């Protein structure tokens, strides 16, 4: 066990994971790792190489991919083999294909290994995704499961698209979220589920500040138990 805290956050798309995890990492001075960005980057490259549906080629692609996440000033940049893919991984095409790519068992093994290496460093870490509390770090010091109603989640995603200059109809977003929820929760390999010992936070009707506060309480508890001094800003 490291001397630092591992904070694991899971939940469906649009439940507020990224916003909450980022703020938390900034407040704590911890590393922030968006694991969804890693599945998205492989999906983007698979689309570009025309290999969607060819699991073997996708696995080979992941093996050859040196993925780097760089979190600074509240934004995560993602690079694969030196090429920046930050904005490209958020396209509608990637949204449509990412859940199917994420089903590939051997791809998950490769990415989970990378995630454990990233999170196992000396710094504290906030890592978010679908299987962080159950598979990647089942012994994390703090385990959180975020949820929100489908309507609220769709509204949030629509706003994100608007902020990036694309208008996408709300019902199209809702349909994509429902499809992804369905695939992510029912797939054979590491489905999205709430870990028994995870603290569930429903974000439908609370502010981001409140979400962060609720999780910070858990973090403080865990730090006290481990005798770790936190430096919260």
Q: Interface residues with ligand DC (CB under 6 A)?
A: 13, 35-36, 39-40, 98-99, 102, 129-132, 180, 184
Q: How far is the CB of 227 from ligand DC (least distance, A)?
A: 30
Whole-number Å distance between alpha carbons of 148 and 126: 20
Of 109, 136, 124, 138, which Cα lies nearest the Cα of 219? 124
Residue with Cβ nearer ligand DC (20 or 35): 35
Least CB distance to ligand DC at residue 216 (A)? 22
Residue placing its CB nearer to ligand DC in the complex, 6 or 98: 98
Q: Are 38 and 233 in contact (CB under 8 A)?
A: no
Q: Min. distance of Cβ 220 from ligand DC in angstroms?
A: 26
Q: Please, which residue, 114 or 130, has the CB nearer to ligand DC?
A: 130
* Nearest distance in Å: CB 114, ligand DC: 11
Q: Which two tokens stand for residue 224?
A: 């006290």
Between the alpha carbon of residue 164 and those of residues 16, 167, 208, the distances in Å are 17, 9, 20
Nearer to ligand DC, 40 or 114 (CB): 40
**Alpha helices (runs of H) in the chain, residue ranges in sequence order:** 17-28, 35-48, 55-64, 92-101, 105-119, 150-163, 170-186, 208-226
CB of 167 to ligand DC, least distance (A): 20
Strand order in the sheet with 6-10: 31-34, 125-129, 6-10, 142-147, 199-202
If you search the block for the tokens 């439908």, which residue do you land on? 204
Would you say 152 or 228 has its CB closer to ligand DC?
152
Show the tokens assigned to 88.
Answer: 């490209």
């Amino acid at each position: 066990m490291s001397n630092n805290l591992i904070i694991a956050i899971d939940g469906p798309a649009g439940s507020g994971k990224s916003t909450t995890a980022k703020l938390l990492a900034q407040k704590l001075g911890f590393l922030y790792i968006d694991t969804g960005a890693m599945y998205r980057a492989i999906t983007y490259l698979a689309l570009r190489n025309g290999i969607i549906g060819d699991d073997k080629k996708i696995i080979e692609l992941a093996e050859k991919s040196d993925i780097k996440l760089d979190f600074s000033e509240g934004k995560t940049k993602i690079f694969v083999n030196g090429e920046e893919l930050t904005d490209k991984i958020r396209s509608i095409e990637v949204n449509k294909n990412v859940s199917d790519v994420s089903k590939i068992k051997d791809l998950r093994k490769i990415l989970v290994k990378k995630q454990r290496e990233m999170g196992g460093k000396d710094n504290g870490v906030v890592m978010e995704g679908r299987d962080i509390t159950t598979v990647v770090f089942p012994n994390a010091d703090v385990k959180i499961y975020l949820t929100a109603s489908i309507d609220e989640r769709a509204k949030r995603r629509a706003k994100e698209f608007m902020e990036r200059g694309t208008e996408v109809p709300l019902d199209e977003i809702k349909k994509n979220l429902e499809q992804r929820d369905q695939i992510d929760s029912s797939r054979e390999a590491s489905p999205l589920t709430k870990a028994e010992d995870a603290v569930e936070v429903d974000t439908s009707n609370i502010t981001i500040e409140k979400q962060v506060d609720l999780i910070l309480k858990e973090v403080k508890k865990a730090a006290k138990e481990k005798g770790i001094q936190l430096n919260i800003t």
